[in-house]
Amino acid sequence: MASSGHHHLTETFTNPPNYSFPHNRLSNVLRNPKKTPIVLVACGSFSPVTYLHLRMFEMAKDFVRQNTDFEILGGYLSPVSDMYKKPGLLSAHHRVNMCNLAAQDSDTWLMVDPWEAFQTYQRTAIVLDHFDHEINTVLGGARTEDGERRHVRIMLLAGSDLIGTMSEPGVWSYSDLDHILGRYGCLIVERAGTAIDQATDSLARWRSNIYLISQLIQNDVSSTKVRLFLRRGLSVRYLLPNSVVDYIEEHGLYQDETAASSHQEKGKEREREAGSGSKKEIVSQPC
């Protein structure tokens, strides 16, 4: 079980201009006092957001209800910052707008947090700390119907390709892995063509905090494939919400062949300078 005794990796959080944490769909009442309240956070490029991104939350909800002692109070999409420096990455303005459109059309518990998108690059571990701070420190966590206060556990939601990168030596720092998997934990949705048994074996230290979710109906829709379809002038309706398709068409997005050539690599890749040295950290998450 994740511990709530760990400290955050930073004592202060830098907010974008005019930022306020979205919590209009976040429940602050735990219906079953015997369960642990959790909030799911999916980090990624979301360029564009697809039905598979949204479907991950529904699969997680089913899994949590049937296999755990958790109770979900809310779910968040957290689009990556433009400072992520992925060549050709669509602006955070458009990506956040598309995520908001998709969330509005979704179930009542899904939200979009623009905190990560509209500032400098933030590591995933820091992003999860931000959610923990906003939900537990600022909002006071959850309460039972009897008024008892409860700490809300933040959990990362991602595709199984993420676990693959976590198991590769040198891709993630040990301290970040320990913080993400040890303090928070994650729910991993199986993705077609990704072998996760070997990956989870190498992360055995945190196995109790890694929850694997089988994809009962195989869906290999990806943002990469959607962008390819758009560049070829093919329809992408029913691969992503109609409101998102309308937004893409209205703004003429993903038509630039020059920018498109940079999107061949799947996942969320980040680079940062570590201290004053030249070591770079590359992190892969769902795009």
Quick one: how far is CA 286 from the chain centroid? 8
**How far apart, in whole angstroms, are the C-alpha atoms of residue 260 and residue 134?**
36
How high is the pLDDT of residue 109? 95
Q: What's the half-sphere exposure (Cβ side, CA atoms, 13 Å) at 251?
A: 15
* For the chain, the helix, strand and coil percentages under 3-state DSSP, each to the nearest 5: 35, 15, 50
pLDDT, tens digit, 9 for 90 and up, residues 66-77: 999 999 999 999
Q: How far apart are CA 223 and CA 220, in angstroms?
A: 10
User: Class assignment of domain 36-256?
Assistant: alpha beta
pLDDT of residue 218: 83
Angle at 92 between CA 89 and CA 96, to 5 degrees: 125
Give the three-state DSSP class for 30.
strand
Low-confidence residues in the chain, pLDDT < 70: 1-6, 87-88, 192-199, 257-287
Cα 77 from Cα 60, distance rounded (Å): 14
- What is the DSSP pairing of strand 29-30 with strand 36-44? unpaired
Residue 99: Cβ within 10 Å count: 29
Are 211 and 162 contacting, i.e. CB atoms less than 8 angstroms apart? no
pLDDT value, residue 265: 39
Closest CA to 148 of 25, 29, 1: 29
For residue 38, the one-letter residue type is I
CB 233 within 8 A of CB 241: no
What pLDDT score does 192 carry? 64
| Size of the chain, expressed as the number of residues it contains | 287
pLDDT of amino acid 87: 61
| pLDDT value of position 283 | 38
